[in-house]
Structure 1
Amino acid sequence: MKHLFIKAALLLGAAAAASCGNMKQIKHQPYPETVRGDVVDNYFGTEVPDPYRWLEDDNSEATAAWVAAENAVTQDYLSQIPFRGAIRERLTEVWNYAKESAPRKHGDWWYYTYNDGLQNQSVIYRTKEPGEAGEVFLDPNKLSDDGTVALTDMSFSKDGRWFAYSAAASGSDWVEIRVMDTADKSLAADKIEWVKFSGARWAPDSKGFYYSAYDAPKQNAYSSKNEFQKVYYHALGTPQSADRLIYEDREHPLRYFSAWPSEDGKWLFVIASEGTSGTEVLYKRVSDPKFRVLLPGFDADYSPVDCKDDRLYYVTNRDASNYALMKVDLNRPGMIETVIPESERNLLEGVGTAGGSLFAYYLQDAQSRIYQYDYAGKQVREVALPAIGSVGGFDGREEDSELYYTLVNYTAPATIYKYDIASGESTLYKAPEVNFDPELFTTEQVFYTSKDGTKVPMFITRRKDMKRDGKNPCLLYAYGGFQINLTPGFNPSALMFVEQGGIYCVANLRGGSEYGEEWHKAGMLENKQNVFDDFIAAAEYLIAGKYTSTDKLAIHGGSNGGLLVGACEVQRPDLYAVCLPAVGVMDMLRYHKFTIGWGWAVEYGSSEDEEQFSYIYKYSPLHNIKEGVKYPATLVTTADHDDRVVPAHSFKFAAAMQHAQAGDAPILIRIESKAGHGAGKPTSKRIDEAADMYAFLFQNIGVPYKVIKN
């Protein structure tokens, strides 16, 4: 793979690296006095105290005062770290490279996103021909003064005339759908509110679109439980109040739905979900009044790919743990045929369509492989990828003869290639120019043994000149849930850490679906402890292999990965020097009572079920903190507008940890304002947060940051 880069002389020897001085000993201010209430819940005869229940009210004056006091303690501590500013400066440099998406054609224009390096949000451009200078189509940075309004979804009408985008403010999951006329780039009057986990799905005639929405919340929009999602059709040029109700289910308040119209305009599908895995597909002719069940039950996944000649093509794990591509005759729904059978070894992540071909995305040991098929299921070729990594973009229009795809890995940002659908030839389109030398770094994949003997893969990114002497700073990252696969990706902040001699490790724990649905099931519900065992085993492997040592090891994860870090911290506080849980699900007994949390019960279970309570309670991070234990240095991060994993999880966990801590290591919480769960976070906030996280990490493993001299 050809890299374009600006070479920097990143020599970290005595002659090239200036240390920011010897490690300064820093003490945090006294923690705020956090009132411990007397709330006690009874779960099937087990009494569980919840002394920080009052912190769940994120609108109260008391909670606001607590947040301000905790932030003051955290910022005072971070401000004393002498190399914090130098870290932020270097992060700004490594983030500052042009980022561009693969172009896609809609109507007469090719559209792509572009970020000059440090723009808070990427800008949408368009051009008549790929490679020519583009014009600005929509600049999301102009939707707010501080870059905190982000686009979470965008779609074009089939004729290319209309563009719909979903805009989220301050990181919230709530979005507003707006429409633009591509002819003159004007904003239409159409405005759709109270949309969550949905975008605009255009009808084939380009006269309107389908979307899913909730009724306006009667209480706190950022923490109230979301119920009774409905599917609507919006006709262009009409108010939302006139939108036609397409589908609702008054018997199942916790289901959510998405509409999927066929390209020929004959059929309309609704995909129903009860949680984060498992779906049911309903269908009808557009002219029919009612939907019927096409693919029943919620014990398997169904993902529509295409509808052609009255046959629905879909990817499923029904009787296929590694997934298969099937088709069903919509006039004879009992007629189901296999198009691409399940692979014995590799996971079928999804299927794209373009130029009359099917493109199957496979994962082999968490790395992308792409195969091209015809609609009869005959393999045309395996696509010869230019390098190992993660691939995206093999999707387009029926009439396309070429497409553009991206390839990314741990040491290089996304590079764009043009693919000729007929010949199978890939040619380089654009490679990013970066201000570091990727030849200094390497990534290896290892397989280690977990507690029960399971082999688990892990990517290790490091400098080529690293010595395995047990003295290296190490950051271990993972997720482990919800069928989320951690494939190679570029993280400029992690590269800064590796540049300093650190080792960045990503473990592919059970709970993801790197090896199919069985791998997922082995890390969910009553098997969730396997995920924590896998992560702990990864840490032990790195220590035993002398990549690092306990006093140089940090662990990090976000969302479900924040739960992972919290659980592993309270289970094995002796194993790490630093713990960095971000926006974590820490109160496993009450997570389902907020916003969309109920949808995770299929993955975790619920405390309202006696059997499920018994195993959730054993690992819930909040409920397994023990007084008198010396816990590692901990920086909890969350945000005030996180309505996915509400900040109360992090508030209560931080308060309980501060109360229990018997050692000298700091337990701090960083609460970001005007930010949410992470999606669409402005570049400036990402850099600020990363600078604080890595400054805290270096400070608490006793390794000073070294200023890079170019």
Structure 2
Amino acid sequence: METCMPARQNTAQTATGADPHLWLEDVAGEAPLEWVRGQNAVASGELEATPQFAALHARFKTILNSQDRIPYVSLHEGYYYNFWRDATHVRGIWRRTTPEQFVLADPAWQTMLDLDTLAAAEDENWVWAGADFLHRDTRCLLSLSRGGGDACVLREFDVATLAFVADGFRLPEAKTRSAWIDRDTLFVATDFGPGSMTSSGYPRIVKEWRRGTPLDQALTVFEGAPDDLAVGAAKDFTPGHEFQLIWRSMSFYANQLYLREGAGLVKVDKPDDATAYTVRDQLIIELRSEWTVNGAVYPQGALLATDFRRHMRGERDFAVLFAPTPTSSLDGVSATRSALLLNELDNVKNRIVELRHVDGAWQRRTVNAPAFGTLDASALDSIDSDQYFLSVTDFLTPTTLYLAEAGSDERLQLKALPAYFDAAPCRVQQFQATSRDGTAVPYFVVSGKDAAPGAERPALLYGYGGFEVSLKPFYSAVTGSAWLEQGGVYVLANIRGGGEFGPRWHQAALKEHRQRAFDDFIAVAEDLLARGLSTPRRLGIMGGSNGGLLVGAVMAQRPELFNAVVCQVPLLDMKRYHQLLAGASWMGEYGDPDDPAQWDYIARYSPYQNVHAGKRYPRVLFTTSTRDDRVHPGHARKMAALMQGQGHDVLYWENTEGGHAGAANNDQQAMMWALTYAFLLKQLG
């Protein structure tokens, strides 16, 4: 096999500046796929032969296909809809039941669409990507992905007939954004042909498409710029407030909002880095930076509300619904028929606050919910119902799903996970590490109660640190059974770049400050070692996507701290990331490597440019997916090839389906996680 491959190189660039592993960026090319098959055979051959693999794989398949999992649902016209995969339905079924049936231990489900049957009939590897209903109607738009990528086929479906609509709305595979206007009209942003997509690979044109007319005759509503991130549109179906809104994202952190009035668009006044949306008659604005209006200063991370129509007339009178503190941030907002549910995060612990707009003033009430772990509140129907789902979980407590109602603290337990592992011997602790610049960085440790300092337990440190994503306590049957029950210590780091303390925490690690996220992660590793919770020989790190960049950079900078690295669907070649798939959309996070001044700071941490022959690194398992059309699999491919060429002992495994999630069904997930934990147990056990 190797005789047909280009010669191995031990640097990311040749003397002429060319990347010798560039050929691996050809996702579906025969030579790269032959290389992938060879790498998969080596990784699978070694890890499947470990003593732990068979038991892990069998247990994960049982867990992931368990009938005891919570079937998360959405409400539409009196039915709860759910998409479900198990051992019988590998690709899955879309089904529904009534609220009365759902509370039963074994609800009666009606199948709407069997994806295994559809895939077999059409000879397609369909992966479910969601359903978008028309308000108070039986019609919906189904999104189906080939192999799990972000690009989807769009088809109109009628739940009254359990069939796709003949001559209904249908769009070919693309990164489409669509929304209903009425039964015969859609907003559509898709690939309309050359010049219609942004440099990030997303639509830049919104059109109004009427039923029965060719797509190329659809009315253009808005055009963004070629170097924008994306555009889209939506309609609010709240009676009396049927606003049509167009949004333009210039980057991940800059956007504009327009109100469509007749044939024209009126820009909504707000900071470009703020998120805005309507809830009934109110305009809600989430601030990512401080905003001064008519002498009033509204803080970064605040949530504001004002009358939308008065705002469009030029009035500026905001109510502050949430103001952050040094330890608190806004974790989410959900609207019921008459209330706003704010999910606040304080020192990485949630609380739910209910707000009602009564006689022109906002009334606040803290919901009496469990005061531990992670809470999530999600409205069933923001137009017609005050009910919401409340999910409660933490590292050691199986997730429980409740039905609650705005205005009351009473709730009905609907579903709960069984205990997939024995949590009784375990405990959760929260510590703080001190980063290089003196910043206190919190982290969670899940370990056995008898894990005394100096016990030298195997420990797994997980992090992300980007895009304002908050890492919160969660119940994982996979982690619990594969790691905690084996005596392992699990560590979750809340480093800068994330959203645990709001926009300021995220922005502290943007662009030229990216090293702070890596410093925070290193500080957590050093702190848990100093506490005697593990040793470098028994400490591993894991991260995916941006977290893959994190562990890749930290591995290159401080290899002596670790003995295993799991690097999943990662970004690694930061010289070319903006030229690969959706990479251009992330320049607001990392910077532009084509700008010499920005490349100067990116080059200092880009993993692909910072690993070297003759230096010892912990052993690495790279995992990715051929069908990942968000983060290019070339990142992981090239890094593995580079490090192998330098003489480093790394493993590489690529799933041929799965998209950015890495796996397209439960069986693929079971295989991916069994290989991962077999690797960790072998390296750190």
Give 2:305's match in structure 1, choosing from 300, 314, 326: 326
Q: Is residue 2:288 matched to residue 1:314?
A: no
Give 1:268's match in structure 2, choosing from 244, 262, 283: 244
1:694 alignment partner AA: Y
Give 1:593's match in structure 2, choosing from 562, 579, 593: 579
Provide Cα deviations, 1:331-385, integer angstroms capped at 9, x if missing partner. Answer: 4144241241423242113321113111111111222211000125533411122
Partner Cα separation in structure 2 for residue 209 and residue 158 of structure 1: 13
Contact 1:480 1:512 in 2 (8 A): yes
How far the C-alpha of 1:36 sits from its partner, in A, is: 4.7
CA separation of 1:473 and 1:510: change in aligned 2, threshold 3 A:
same
Aligned position for 2:333:
351
Provide Cα deviations, 1:527-548, integer angstroms capped at 9, x if missing partner. Answer: 0000111111111111111111
**Structure 2: 5+ residue stretches without partners:** 291-298
Q: Is residue 2:353 matched to residue 1:371?
A: yes
Aligned position for 1:602:
588
Percentage of identical aligned residues = 28
Aligned position for 1:195:
174
Normalising by structure 2, we get a TM-score of: 0.89
CA separation of 1:280 and 1:539: change in aligned 2, threshold 3 A:
same
Q: Is residue 2:34 matched to residue 1:65?
A: yes
Q: Is residue 2:94 matched to residue 1:134?
A: no
CA separation of 1:438 and 1:325: change in aligned 2, threshold 3 A:
farther
Give 1:257's match in structure 2, choosing from 206, 231, 234: 231
Provide Cα deviations, 1:275-302, integer angstroms capped at 9, x if missing partner. Answer: 22222112221x2x2223213553x121
Aligned position for 2:366:
382
1:26-65 mapped onto 2 (5 Å cutoff): 35-36=7-8, 48-65=17-34
Q: Is residue 2:264 matched to residue 1:290?
A: yes
Partner Cα separation in structure 1 for residue 565 and residue 249 of structure 2: 34
CA separation of 1:167 and 1:178: change in aligned 2, threshold 3 A:
same
1:5-20 mapped onto 2 (5 Å cutoff): none
Partner Cα separation in structure 1 for residue 172 and residue 333 of structure 2: 31
1:509-528 mapped onto 2 (5 Å cutoff): 509-528=495-514
Which of structures 1 and 2 has the larger relative contact order (alpha carbons within 8 angstroms, sep 6+)?
1
Aligned position for 1:151:
128
Partner Cα separation in structure 1 for residue 404 and residue 99 of structure 2: 15
Q: Is residue 2:599 matched to residue 1:613?
A: yes
Provide Cα deviations, 1:30-62, integer angstroms capped at 9, x if missing partner. Answer: 9996525799989xxx98552212222233333
How far the C-alpha of 1:272 sits from its partner, in A, is: 1.4
Contact 2:324 2:330 in 1 (8 A): yes
Matched length? 658
Q: Is residue 2:71 matched to residue 1:83?
A: no
Give 2:453's match in structure 1, choosing from 455, 464, 468: 468
CA separation of 1:227 and 1:356: change in aligned 2, threshold 3 A:
closer
SS at match of 1:698: helix
How far the C-alpha of 1:156 sits from its partner, in A, is: 1.5
Aligned position for 2:674:
691
Aligned position for 1:479:
464
1:499 alignment partner AA: E
CA separation of 1:177 and 1:294: change in aligned 2, threshold 3 A:
same
Partner Cα separation in structure 2 for residue 315 and residue 520 of structure 1: 15
SS at match of 1:520: helix
How far the C-alpha of 1:260 sits from its partner, in A, is: 2.4
Contact 1:257 1:271 in 2 (8 A): yes
Provide Cα deviations, 1:6-30, integer angstroms capped at 9, x if missing partner. Answer: xxxxxxxxxxxxxxxxxxxxxxx99
Partner Cα separation in structure 2 for residue 538 and residue 142 of structure 1: 48
Normalising by structure 1, we get a TM-score of: 0.86
Partner Cα separation in structure 1 for residue 301 and residue 623 of structure 2: 35
Contact 1:585 1:591 in 2 (8 A): yes
Give 2:204's match in structure 1, choosing from 221, 229, 232: 229
Contact 1:277 1:482 in 2 (8 A): no
Aligned position for 1:304:
277
Give 1:105's match in structure 2, choosing from 70, 75, 100: 75
Give 1:244's match in structure 2, choosing from 219, 222, 233: 219
How far the C-alpha of 1:682 sits from its partner, in A, is: 0.8
1:388 alignment partner AA: F
Partner Cα separation in structure 2 for residue 425 and residue 32 of structure 1: 67
Partner Cα separation in structure 1 for residue 431 and residue 300 of structure 2: 24
**Structure 1: 5+ residue stretches without partners:** 1-28, 704-710
Partner Cα separation in structure 2 for residue 642 and residue 412 of structure 1: 32
How far the C-alpha of 1:237 sits from its partner, in A, is: 5.5
Partner Cα separation in structure 2 for residue 526 and residue 236 of structure 1: 49
SS at match of 1:274: strand
1:385-424 mapped onto 2 (5 Å cutoff): 385-386=369-370, 388-395=372-379, 396-424=381-409
Provide Cα deviations, 1:438-469, integer angstroms capped at 9, x if missing partner. Answer: 43433222222111111111122223343433
1:541 alignment partner AA: D
Partner Cα separation in structure 1 for residue 199 and residue 75 of structure 2: 40
CA separation of 1:41 and 1:82: change in aligned 2, threshold 3 A:
closer
Contact 2:177 2:190 in 1 (8 A): no
How far the C-alpha of 1:433 sits from its partner, in A, is: 2.6
